[in-house]
Amino acid sequence: MLLLSPPPWTDYELIDSGIFEKLERFGKYILIRPEPQAIWDKNLSEKEWEALSHAKFSKDRNHPEKGQWHLKPLMPEQWHINYPLGNRQLTFRLGLTAFKHVGIFPEQSVNWDYIYFTVNRLKEEQAIRPRVLNLFAYTGGASLAACAAGADVVHVDSVKAVITWARHNMEASKLDGIRWIVEDAMKFVLREVRRGTIYDGIILDPPAYGRGPAGEKWLLEDHILQLSDACRKLLDPSHGYFVYNLYSMGFSSLVLENLVDSIFKTSNSCESGELYIPDRGGRKLPLGIFSRFSMK
């Protein structure tokens, strides 16, 4: 099992964590957000957190999935940050949403690097322009990484506003050509299986729970096996690569490793583990589990 964290990144830093919160810097602005896994004590004092921060998210007791931001003067509701990738630079628009998210998951940058270099390797070894499918693609970090490396990318998310956000990120990053699909990921994948479509890379990043385009409820445990098996049928068996992310606190990396091995028969070619980001005090904040491999 691997423990992976992003390399130092100019536009992002986890400053401190503890008492179910995290203090993060995104570009020039420092935010306080809830973090259920940060059960330890804070390294900095509450006064230091308050003095450093530009905005804080508070949960709504009547709507546990939502909340509101409390902004200090001059704190914008939207701004941009950059991420260096190979000889390119990705640009992301950040925004303060009612769900505490800001439009980016910094820990995923280790997978953006993996995707970027894997696509480049496939181009050289297979002499192809790889086709990459990104499911539950959100604001498109993984899609941008694949596109920047020269892949044909299909980006699938059920929320139209998120697709619009991802398109803005593509344009801000001076990229183009991503195919946008506003649809339930399961329905799209099953239709692609019936069509006999094959992809050279698949990124699967399902939420623990959520809502589809028609308001239908999504629970990870109800769909994960069928969805994973359908993705197997779409992945090129000779050289395809797969990146799997999960955020459910109920699943360990061993659970995901066993699932991936049982479906894809990856044997020893798969690397699995946890993604984390260290704060200035040295605490490793876990931020999801991953599994990734190449069929070669």
- Residue 139 belongs to domain with CATH number: 3.40.50.150
Residue 86 lies in a domain: no
The residue segments making up the domain with residue 72 are: 2-79
Kindly state whether residues 37 and 111 are assigned to the same domain. no
Kindly state whether residues 72 and 208 are assigned to the same domain. no
Kindly state whether residues 157 and 34 are assigned to the same domain. no
Kindly state whether residues 108 and 252 are assigned to the same domain. yes
* Domain end point (choices 79, 114, 135): 79
Kindly state whether residues 125 and 29 are assigned to the same domain. no
Retrieve residue 114's tokens. Answer: 């993996």
Residue 135 lies in a domain: yes
Contact 166, 145 (CB under 8 A): no
Could you give the CA distance from residue 159 to residue 34 in angstroms, rounded to a whole number?
Answer: 23
Angle between helices 220-234 and 185-195 (to 10 degrees): 30
Place 267 in a pLDDT band, splitting at 50, 70 and 90. Answer: low
Q: Which of 25-34, 38-47, 208-217 has the lowest mean pLDDT?
A: 208-217
- Residue 62 belongs to domain with CATH number: 2.60.40.1180
Spatial neighbors of 32 by CB under 8 A, at least 6 apart, are 21, 22, 23, 49, 53, 55, 56, 57
Contact 272, 256 (CB under 8 A): yes
Residue 118 burial by Cβ neighbours in a 10 Å radius (0-12, 13-18, 19+) = buried
Kindly state whether residues 128 and 263 are assigned to the same domain. yes
Kindly state whether residues 31 and 114 are assigned to the same domain. no
Kindly state whether residues 113 and 73 are assigned to the same domain. no
Into how many domains does the chain fold?
Answer: 2
Instruction: Please state, in angstroms and as integers, the Cα–Cα distance from residue 248 to each residue in 76, 136, 195, 220, 286, following that order.
Output: 31, 15, 31, 8, 12
Kindly state whether residues 56 and 113 are assigned to the same domain. no
Kindly state whether residues 17 and 161 are assigned to the same domain. no
Retrieve residue 164's tokens. Answer: 């619009």
Contact 292, 114 (CB under 8 A): yes
List the helix and strand counts (H, then E) for the chain: 7, 17
Tens-digit pLDDT profile for residues 43-93: 999 999 999 999 999 988 777 678 999 999 999 999 999 999 998 999 999
pLDDT of 213: 61
pLDDT of 177: 96
Kindly state whether residues 210 and 116 are assigned to the same domain. yes
Tens-digit pLDDT profile for residues 103-159: 999 999 999 999 999 999 999 999 999 999 999 999 999 999 999 999 999 999 999
Angle between helices 141-148 and 160-172 (to 10 degrees): 40
Residue 42 lies in a domain: yes
Tens-digit pLDDT profile for residues 166-223: 999 999 999 999 999 999 999 999 999 999 999 999 999 998 776 666 666 667 788 8
Question: Would you say residue 250 has pLDDT above 80?
Answer: no
Kindly state whether residues 139 and 265 are assigned to the same domain. yes
Identify the helix (H) or strand (E) that includes residue 255. helix 253-264
